[in-house]
Structure 1
């Protein structure tokens, strides 16, 4: 079975980690089918597009779950550090998601740079999904602050 590329803003990174926007009811078995062993959710549970009962739905398919709720208007370096910790401790292939894959790609921008990737390459990976650094949208302001400390 191939990657479920119809999941919103699906990406497979060179390191094997997959990322996306929101998950829907039928996605847990599809993630299990491609070997995902752990899912990290950066979205808030009360978002209208959040998957209700996500932890239980994933567990029913043998997938571990970690929730790191990141308010879209208040991301922090602490959230990024928590994601790095979970990724380092995960047993098996990991999928990281939020609602649009915006939080996720911004966090990986920082993690990729910390791992020694050239800024240009890290930014190209992020901007394949969104570009908060160039955005004039006021919602991008906290992300610009996070990414340009």
Structure 2
């Protein structure tokens, strides 16, 4: 992962991917302006809007900064390949730098692991990108079970 000067690297589990997409966990009220300042033109949120750590009125906060917004609510206990396809479709359709987030950046990194593999990224590279944030494949936490199933071939 490559950081640039001005990146808000203090965001929870911040990453800048080599393809220019940025990712993170939860966002706070000042973060839409910070993301606008580094050139983000579209935000994709994979978290549920009713999560206790969700940014209230997130879409309006980004609209106020001139940033497009897509919400793909992914229940942490029930991620599906349809959710991944929705992210892929959104990334294919939007212009400009994109920021994708959830609460911990776990949903996001798992989805990008799958998208990277579809794109032909070597397994060890895709896995390293995901495990820099979390590794559901090696977790004994029961909450990781639906993610293990999703990530399995």
For Structure 1 versus Structure 2, the TM-score category normalised by the shorter chain is over 0.9
Alignment partner, residue 82 of structure 1: 86
Question: Do residues 106 (structure 1) and 110 (structure 2) align?
Answer: yes
SS for the counterpart of 2:134 is coil
Question: Aligned residue pairs: how many?
Answer: 149
Mapped to 1, the partners of 2:94 and 2:25 lie a distance apart of: 20
Q: Which residue number corresponds to residue 2 of structure 1?
A: 6
The alpha carbon displacement at 1:22 in A equals 0.4
Which of the numbers 17, 20, 23 marks the counterpart of 2:24? Answer: 20
Partner in structure 1 of residue 64 of structure 2 = 60
How many Å apart are 1:52 and its aligned residue? 0.2
Two-structure CA RMSD over aligned residues (Å): 0.6
Query: Which of 131, 136, 139 is the matching residue for 1:132?
Result: 136
* Rounded Cα–Cα distance in structure 2 between residues aligned with 1:90 and 1:18: 14
Runs of 4+ in 1 over 3 A off after TM superposition: none
Among 47, 71, 85, the residue aligned to 2:51: 47
> How far did residue 91 of structure 1 move?
1.0
**1:30 pairs with 2:30:** no
- Calculate the TM-score normalised by the size of structure 2: 0.96
Secondary structure at 1:133 match in 2: helix
Cα deviation for residue 44 of structure 1 reads: 0.1
Rounded Cα–Cα distance in structure 1 between residues aligned with 2:13 and 2:81: 23
State the shift of 1:111 in Å: 0.2
> Unpaired runs of 5+ in structure 1?
none
